[in-house]
């Protein structure tokens, strides 16, 4: 039933005060996250939707930062970080089963040869849901407090030029991280780049009404880069779990395949990102009509 709910909007409307619009978007997505976790729900889809809603609010915070002030920004950021940290293990446990299924499908592996590995991952996910249901009230508490904080935001001073600077800054950070990824194969640097891509993606979606052609090309391109980077992250988590588990033949075969696949995914992600990040930050936001 929850999957049929209308998703709250994630874009600023023209001819509306920017600060009020960002505040409204943050409220809408915090409300959506609370709805998903009603009744201490730990099912995969609601947890995923709640985490996605939180990421969108964090993107709003980044854009609203010039008018928020350090105290309010730190308060709500810490609350949302706490919520994400509590939901993270639930998401990670579930996604590893999906990652294994994807790996077997793309590599043409026989499911029966890896049924014991999959069953083990599914058991981990099930046990995580049983154990972490107690985390949901704490998550809801953090989200509720975040919502009360958002309701007190005073964003009247926020102007279009402030939002432009924040997007330019986000783009610049992604560009710098891309350069670092080109010269070293550190998974954590790549993970930081992945998060910067996601941040920019949400920023473009939020301001889509003010980009040429509603930012469709940018949103599409960033989405594709994000999908590749997200696949790399899921496979990395799967590899880590397999290394910690029983060292049987099936697990070792999967680890070897992942060792080959992960560098390829990183290279594919970086290659896809090169054209997007080839502009100077100032040129990137030149056509943003804010």
pLDDT tens digits, residue range 164-187? Answer: 999 999 999 999 999 999 998 888
The mean pLDDT value for 55-64 works out to 98
pLDDT of residue 77: 97
- Percentage of residues in the chain with pLDDT exceeding 70? 98
Each residue of 233-244: pLDDT tens digit?
A: 999 999 999 999
In the chain, what are the domain boundaries?
15-91+133-158, 160-281
Mean pLDDT of 271-283: 96
Percent of the residues in the chain that have a pLDDT greater than 90, as a whole number:
94
* Burial (CB count <10 Å: 0-12, 13-18, 19+), residue 93: buried
Q: How are the residues of the chain apportioned to helix, strand and coil, as percentages rounded to the nearest 5?
A: 80, 0, 20
Termini Cα distance of the chain: 38
Looking at residue 6, its pLDDT comes to: 80
Region 5-18 average pLDDT = 92
The confidence band for 5, taking pLDDT boundaries of 50, 70 and 90, is low
CA dist., res. 288 & res. 125, Å (int): 43
**pLDDT for res 2:** 43
At residue 97, the pLDDT reads 96
Average pLDDT, the chain: 95
Structure tokens given for 78: 């810490």
Rounded to 5 degrees, φ, ψ at 140 are -60, -35
* Residue 4: pLDDT over 70: no
pLDDT 10s digits, 199-208 = 999 999 999 9
- Which tops the pLDDT comparison, 217 or 41? 217
Q: Is the pLDDT of residue 137 over 90?
A: yes
Output the pTM of the full model.
0.93
Residue 275 pLDDT > 90: yes
Both tokens assigned to 265: 């995914």
Class of domain 15-91+133-158 as given by CATH: mainly alpha
- Predicted confidence (pLDDT) at residue 1 exceeds the cutoff of 50: no
């Amino acid at each position: 039933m929850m999957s049929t709910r209308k998703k709250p909007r994630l874009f600023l409307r023209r001819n509306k005060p920017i600060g009020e619009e960002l505040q409204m978007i943050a409220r809408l997505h915090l409300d959506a996250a609370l709805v998903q976790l009603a009744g201490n729900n730990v099912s995969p889809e609601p947890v995923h939707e709640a985490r996605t809603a939180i990421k969108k609010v964090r993107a709003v915070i980044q854009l609203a930062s010039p008018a928020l002030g350090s105290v309010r920004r730190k308060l709500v950021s810490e609350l949302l970080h706490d919520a994400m940290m509590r939901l993270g293990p639930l998401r990670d446990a579930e996604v590893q089963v999906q990652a294994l299924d994807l790996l077997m499908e793309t590599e043409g592996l026989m499911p029966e040869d890896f049924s014991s590995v999959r069953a083990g991952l599914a058991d981990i996910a099930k046990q995580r849901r049983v154990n972490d249901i107690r985390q949901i009230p704490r998550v809801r508490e953090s989200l509720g407090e975040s919502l009360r904080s958002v309701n007190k935001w005073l964003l009247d001073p926020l102007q279009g030029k402030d939002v432009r600077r924040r997007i330019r800054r986000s783009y610049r950070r992604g560009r710098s991280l891309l350069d670092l990824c080109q010269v070293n194969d550190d998974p954590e640097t790549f993970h930081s780049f992945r998060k910067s891509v996601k941040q920019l993606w949400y920023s473009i979606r939020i301001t889509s009404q003010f980009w040429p052609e509603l930012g469709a090309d940018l949103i599409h391109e960033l989405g594709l880069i994000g999908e590749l980077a997200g696949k790399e992250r899921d496979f990395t988590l799967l590899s880590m779990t397999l290394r910690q588990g029983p060292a049987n033949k099936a697990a070792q075969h999967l680890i070897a395949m992942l060792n080959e696949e992960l560098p390829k995914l990183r290279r594919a992600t970086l290659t896809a990102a090169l054209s997007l990040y080839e502009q100077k930050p100032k040129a990137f936001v030149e056509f943003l009509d804010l």
